[in-house]
Amino acid sequence: MTTFDFASYLQQRLGAHADEGGRFTVETLAGGLTNHTARATFSQPVSTIALPEGRELTGLSLTSVVLKQAPPYLAWDPKRPLSVDRQLVEKKAFQILAGEDPEFPRMQALAHGAEAKVHVPRLIWHDEDAHMLWIEDLGSMTTLSEVLLAGEALEFEAKKMQEIATGFGVFLSALFTETASPPASFVSYIASVSDRSGIYDYLADVVLNYLRDAGIQDAPALSERVRTGFNESDDAEPPKCVGMVDFWPENVLVELAANDKDAPTKCGLVDWEYFGVSDASSELGMFLAHLHVHMLNSATPPIAKRRIQHFTQTWLRSFVAAQFGGKSNDEKSVKETRWRPSNGFVRRLLLSHGRDLVRGVKLYSAKLDDASKRRLLEGGARSLRAAGESSDKIDVRFLRPTESMDADEADCRDIWEGLSILV
């Protein structure tokens, strides 16, 4: 993992502010595998940034900022070159979600309006010379994973987790609906600045190698479903939309204000560097898979598993109710919606879910024992089998729990409770 000298960079960019005694501290932020990321906190509000060629960015009042620097390689592995144009993807996401792109006119209210359920940080400045994004700091919020995995009860957590989960489902529904069938100009732009060559084959190979090493006989066929599924478009639903593309609970920041039952909860969505063209079912499937990794992990405390189950059911029902006409996110209302998922929606959901359950063995390897890894691989294989060879050959019987299941296989009951809301 390489490092970046944020202190020297800030000394240069703060100019007169630094010369007048304005001090700052720099905190490296975790999770920066692709970029170098840090939080800078200022002893005095910063009103001006010194730009190249003697110019200035004025009218600011920054007490802290998140800085994200893109080297011409992966930050964690400098031997792997990577175009700095990837930063333009996240910049575009911020512009769209701030309502600055006329092709997506209603985004500002979704991410920044008074009634916004989820807050997306604003882009303050893109320093193109240093390949640096200056991003609004949402503060010391906690990742959703940390909250869900807490080993003890959180004060007022039932009410507050309900608020977070419901708002999260409403936000995702609006995001996918408002950006459905994105304009060709956006699709072309994202393709021009995104270097995703080989990623589909890489993901399919991860599935093949892990399933095959586990002795799962149909590993080649299941990995091929992942490979070909990326390019299939044999159903009108779900339409393409914009999404995070690499969507997991670490993207979600929450603040429960657990010591005050009446204090509002906060939810933020960060790290939009893989932003681009996606579809609702693939986004939901991959996020759900990461939650199920925790459900299938032997190290997850029982209280955390119950919390994850409650959160999962609440946000999925909220999503369905908001997107497809339900009046509330209770189970009865969701069942009464007019929406019934198309085969295309279900298949993409299952392919995404199965793929990321298998990939979870790689991503979470240090936190999983052998039994947990086996459960993830079996669960991923079940979802990929259920997806079938095509949209007209889906078979959810691979997912439904049966009375004859042994203790390990019974874990699929927990997975089915989430998936059944969408399939």
Distance CA 136, CA 387 (A): 40
- Residue 11 is inside which H or E element, if any? helix 6-14
The encoded tokens of residue 146 equal 């940390």
Distance CA 397, CA 418 (A): 15
The alpha helices in 195-279, defined as continuous H runs, are 199-213, 219-229
Specify the long-range contacts of residues 362-366, CB closer than 8 Å, at least 24 apart.
Answer: 362/206, 362/210, 363/293, 364/293, 364/297
Q: CB count, 10 Å around CB of 44?
A: 13
Distance CA 314, CA 331 (A): 9
Specify the long-range contacts of residues 202-207, CB closer than 8 Å, at least 24 apart.
Answer: 203/355, 203/359, 206/358, 206/359, 206/362, 207/354, 207/355, 207/358, 207/359, 207/380, 207/384
How would you label 407-423 residue by residue, b for 16+ Cβ within 10 Å and e otherwise? eeeebbebbbebbebbb
Distance CA 203, CA 225 (A): 11
pLDDT at 153: 82
Distance CA 263, CA 254 (A): 13
Check residue 182 and report its DSSP letter.
-
Establish whether the linkage from the previous residue to 52 is cis, with ω within 30° of 0.
no
pLDDT at 411: 72
pLDDT at 198: 75
- How many whole angstroms from its chain centre is CA 16? 39
Distance CA 173, CA 184 (A): 22
User: In this predicted model, what pLDDT tens digit does every residue of 187-236 receive, in sequence order?
Assistant: 999 999 887 767 888 899 999 999 999 999 999 999 999 999 887 764 55
Check residue 55 and report its DSSP letter.
-
Collapsed DSSP state (helix, strand, coil) of residue 163? helix
pLDDT at 82: 85
pLDDT at 162: 92
Domains (range + CATH), the chain: 6-85+118-135 (no CATH), 142-419 (3.90.1200)
Residues of the chain with confidence (pLDDT) below 50 = 234, 327
CA distances from 366 to 71, 362, 373 (A): 27, 9, 11
Residue 153's nearest CA partner among 387, 297, 310, 371 is 310
Collapsed DSSP state (helix, strand, coil) of residue 423? coil
pLDDT at 341: 83
CA distances from 408 to 289, 374, 405 (A): 17, 9, 8
pLDDT at 188: 94
The gap between the terminal CA atoms of the chain, to the nearest Å, is 41
Backbone angles phi, psi at 115, to 5 degrees: -100, 10
